[in-house]
Structure 1
Amino acid sequence: MRMAYSGIDLAPLGAQLIGRAGADPDTASANTMMDLSIVLQFRGERGLALSAQAQALQIQQIYSPPTASRRVAIRLLAIMAPGDLMANTPLEFLLEDSDVALDILYLGQGLPLPHSLPDHDVLFIAIAESDQNLPLLAEIESAIKSWPRPVLNRPDRIALMSRNAACALLKAVPGVVMPDTVRVGRRILEQISRMELAITSILEDGNFPVVVRPVDSHAGQGLDKINSPAAMADYLLRMPDSEFYVACFVDYRSKDGQFRKYRVVLIEGQPYICHLAISEHWMIHYLNAGMADSAEKRAEEAYFMADFDSSFARRHAETLRVIGERAGLDYLGIDCGETAAGKLLIFEIDSCMIVHAIDPVDVFPYKQPQMRKVFDAFRRMLGHAKQRGVA
């Protein structure tokens, strides 16, 4: 994954993996097919990628990425679900250059819990919340009730990370702005687009504009700001999905007209900044915010990271503490903005946000020490869990 996120051309590797798979894919090794699946996902060939992954998982359910250190201090078993790169916590980034040995166990339909498991010090549930994964999370919650090792990120808490459930969980937290998020079927939105229903029939706290996105979508896929019933009709023509999340749009631009989105992780309740994205557009993703092209934006991000503990984290300390307490996860990601009144505008919370240190060092030199803080905190969390297991 580091190669792909670093912008390295994956075509030669893909060709090599396809060559290894051979004319008869049944003879390919599980590791080859799993690697091929990742390459295909980054090339945008999701269907082929998931097919390669499914074939790999029919061969074996447990995968062991290389460990950076010869001296293994912690053995971590992670439970993941089949799916794309957004389906699970990206642990390989968080454990980069660490002394943690990672074994990944895939569970899902046709992939039961094996009788024999790798020996481990800590179990981490890495599965993302989604409609597809909710039954699996419930099964795992039942299976781990008497687990002999410490468990991080309990499945029953992950199940509360859907956009509407998270809204219900957090909207009353002092210092938080999180507009009501409702889940509605396509038919309701069609009625709104024809003005047979008012938008206030589903959102009591507001009117147009609203933001709409398909259920279980991530990274801005299908996300749009809708300003009128006619715009809703146009949106539905483009989107074939059957269910959507709808929330009132909040204009969170700063005084300079720019929008700023912060990615923060809570590790054992402590906040760490992972990035600040700055854009003229309200829908911000780090890769489309032009951070690499703007020395001014990078300078602001560098200053923000250096000053985070004494400014942003201190200013929102109680709010972040309550968010972590209500979420109930050992490791939690938060995407947020800041309103003109100084409150946290929560876009999303979940356990599977991409957190990494692979931006070019010559362009983003300030990120390496900050991300090392994040990775060290994650490593400490695992160490604390291991200690609880032997106490």
Structure 2
Amino acid sequence: MQHQANLPIAKSEPKYADRIGFAQLTQQAFNGVDLRPLCDSLMARVADGKAQAGEGLDLSLIAQLLGEKDAGLAIQAEVLAFHQLFRSPCATARPSLRVLALAAAIDMGGNTPIEFLLEGSDIELMTLYVVKGVGLPESLPDHDIAIVVASDSEECRDALAVIEGAAPRWPRPLLNRPNRIASLDRDKLHRLLAGIDGLEIPATVCVARAQMLALSQGQIACEDVTRELRFPMIARPRGTHAGVGLAKLDDHSALANYLTDRQEQEFFVARFVDYSSPDGLFRKYRLAVVDGKPYACHMAIADRWDIWYLNAYMAFSVEKRAEEAAFMLDFDDAFAARHRAALSEMSRRLGLEYFTVDCAENQNGELLIFEADNTAVVHNMDPPDVFPYKPPQMRKIFAAFTAMLSRHAEASKKSAA
């Protein structure tokens, strides 16, 4: 652990390990490429003692992409025990900017997938994993700007604490500071955003299993949990993502049945908001906010409230894709204009240079917030023959992100001159 008064930059080139990287491997898996041969090849190198650290980290990701999460995390732990600094592929041999991403040792969805945001750029990315018991190196690799990519999840808390402790002494601009990422947790976000005009975010509270059982049996009332809670309510196990364990519970009986099927000890609960449109369909949006400016990432349309992009089956509906294309084309003058004040105040309160928002519009036309995050995937992997309107929009977001990095790095240099 670094204990000096400041964090010096290494005088010599640090020993980073090159890797294939998150973006390339995920793209291959998304395109249906069989990753088993590469997995077997890397496993053979591990068995022969020839594998480099970057190959080990790639193997960890491949295992997770193949559905072998526990094995992947075990490999990752072994690799990070002796090596923490990695370099991802760069589009040019002479990068214009060097970015240091500060990550935590967590599964593949627990850090900002920054490689996608740097797609095709002339920016070099190095990722430093902040590992419990190891912390930060005595001297940092040279970089122009750093960004925290670890999430607000429990598994990242130790890493965030280490980075937060060093933040005041960081020798370069440090974006998405840990104390601000911590406010993204579901039971904190609604308190931070409460009272913003034109914005609705239901109170989300963490409830122990014993209290949930008492509620299901009528021993306590919804108001005893939190003032605005009522049936129907939304429940999900704490620590889960991507809809795992997410359910709408209409009454005490539904809650009792839900607890019978779930064994977790803590849950997030919130009141259900019917955000269906007049045509009976639900529309859910993902936005990326870069230095306070919102950008459209996607629009999912379905006849179910619990939408994420894949279960909306957008690829199978010409009508849905036409509406999503119009949403992206008119975004600045329509959706973003309608919610400009709410989004601006939300961005100000969060204080993050980059984050994403999953949201909708409630039946009063207000911005309904489901989640704000710094690790949601913003990518350009969708087939352009099916989604021809997406590549230009994704490139717009990527350009905004890289320009933001350059802007902060340049501003720091000018202030130091």
Name the TM-score, length of structure 2 as normaliser. Answer: 0.91
Equivalent position to 1:338, from 355, 361, 383: 361
Work out which of the residue numbers 389, 392, 395 in structure 2 matches 1:372: 395
Instruction: Provide Cα deviations, 1:54-106, integer angstroms capped at 9, x if missing partner.
Output: 11112310010110123301100010001112211000110111111000000
Mean Cα deviation higher: 72-81 or 1-10: 1-10
Structure 2 CA distance for aligned equivalents of residues 7 and 255 of structure 1? 38
Which residue does 1:145 correspond to in 2?
168
- Confirm whether residue 7 of structure 1 aligns to residue 32 of structure 2: yes
Q: Is the 8 A contact 2:151 2:181 kept in 1?
A: yes
Alpha-carbon distance between aligned partners in 2 of 1:168 and 1:205, rounded to the nearest angstrom: 13
Quote the offset at 1:193 in angstroms: 1.6
Structure 1 residue 137: deviation in Å? 1.5
> 119, 143, 158: which is aligned to 2:142?
119
Q: Which residue of 2 aligns with 1:102?
A: 125
Q: 1:249 aligns with which of 272, 295, 299?
A: 272
State the match for 1:51 in structure 2: 74
Note the 1:75-86 alignment, pairs <5 A.
75-86=98-109
- The answer as to whether partners of 1:34 and 1:53 remain within 8 angstroms in 2 is yes
- Residue 6 of structure 2 is matched in structure 1 by none
- Relative to structure 1, the CA distance from residue 172 to residue 7 in structure 2 (aligned partners, 3 Å threshold; closer, same or farther) is farther
The answer on 1:258 being equivalent to 2:267 is: no
**Alpha-carbon distance, 1:197 to partner:** 1.4
Residues 338-370 of structure 1 show CA distances to partners (whole Å, capped at 9, x for unaligned) of 112110110000111110001011111110000
Aligned counterparts of 1:150 and 1:343: Cα–Cα separation in 2: 35
Task: Work out the CA distance in 1 between the residues paired with 2:38 and 2:194.
Answer: 46
Matches within 5 A, 1:194-273: 194-273=217-296
Question: Structure 1's 166 and 261: CA in aligned 2 closer, same or farther, altered over 3 A?
Answer: same
Residues 284 and 299 in structure 2, CA contact (< 8 A), matched pair in contact too:
yes
Q: Secondary structure at the match of 1:179?
A: coil
| Pairwise CA distance, 1:28 | 3.0
Equivalent in the alignment of 2:199: 176
Q: Secondary structure at the match of 2:184?
A: coil
Cα deviation, residue 389, structure 1: 2.1
1:63 counterpart = 2:63: no
For the residues of structure 1 that align with 2:67 and 2:110, how far apart are their CA atoms? 16
Mapped contact 1:171–1:179 kept (Cα < 8 A): no
Aligned positions, number: 389
Cα pair 1:61 1:111 within 8 Å, conserved: no
Post-superposition offset of 1:16? 2.4
Aligned to 1:134: 157
- The letter for the 2-side match of 1:338 is E
How many angstroms does 1:177 deviate by? 0.9
Q: Contact 2:287–2:356 at 8 Å: present in 1 too?
A: yes
Structure 2 SS opposite 1:159: helix
SS for the counterpart of 2:356 is strand
Secondary structure, in 3 states, of the residue corresponding to 1:59?
coil
Per-residue CA distance 1:94-147 (angstroms, 9 max, x = gap) = 011111100000012133211132210001001100123234312211112121
* 1:217 CA displacement: 1.4
The correspondence for 1:315, drawn from 332, 338, 343, is: 338
Q: Is the 8 A contact 1:203 1:248 kept in 2?
A: no
Cα displacement string for residues 5-62 of structure 1 (whole angstroms, at most 9, x for unaligned residues): 333332232222222222x6x6532112211111111222111110011111123100
The more displaced of 120-129 and 68-77 is: 68-77
Identity of aligned residues (%): 46
What value does the CA root-mean-square deviation take over the aligned residues? 1.3
Shift of 1:214: 1.4
Post-superposition Cα deviations, 1:190-236, rounded to whole Å, max 9, x if no partner, equal 11122211222113114111111111211111111111222112212
Look up the SS of the partner of 1:160 in the other structure.
helix
| Contact kept? 1:261, 1:277, Cα under 8 Å | yes
Q: Which moved more, 1:238-247 or 1:321-330?
A: 238-247
Asked if the contact 1:212/1:245 (under 8 Å) is kept, the reply is: yes
**Amino acid in the other structure paired with 2:112:** T
1:353 aligned residue: 376
Corresponding residue SS for 1:145: helix
Residue 53 of structure 2: aligned partner:
30
Residue aligning to 2:42: 17
- Structure 2: which amino acid aligns with 1:178? I
Match of 2:294, SS?
A: strand
TM-score by length of 1: 0.97
C-alpha distance in 2, partners of 1:308/1:194? 46
Answer whether contact 1:121 1:389 (CA < 8 A) is retained: no
Equivalent residue for 1:362, pick from 364, 382, 385: 385
Q: Aligned residue for 2:10?
A: none
CA contact (8 A) 2:106 2:155 kept: no
Can you give the 5+ residue segments of structure 2 that lack an aligned partner in the other structure?
1-25
What code does the residue aligned with 2:111 have? N
Moved more, 127-136 or 91-100: 127-136
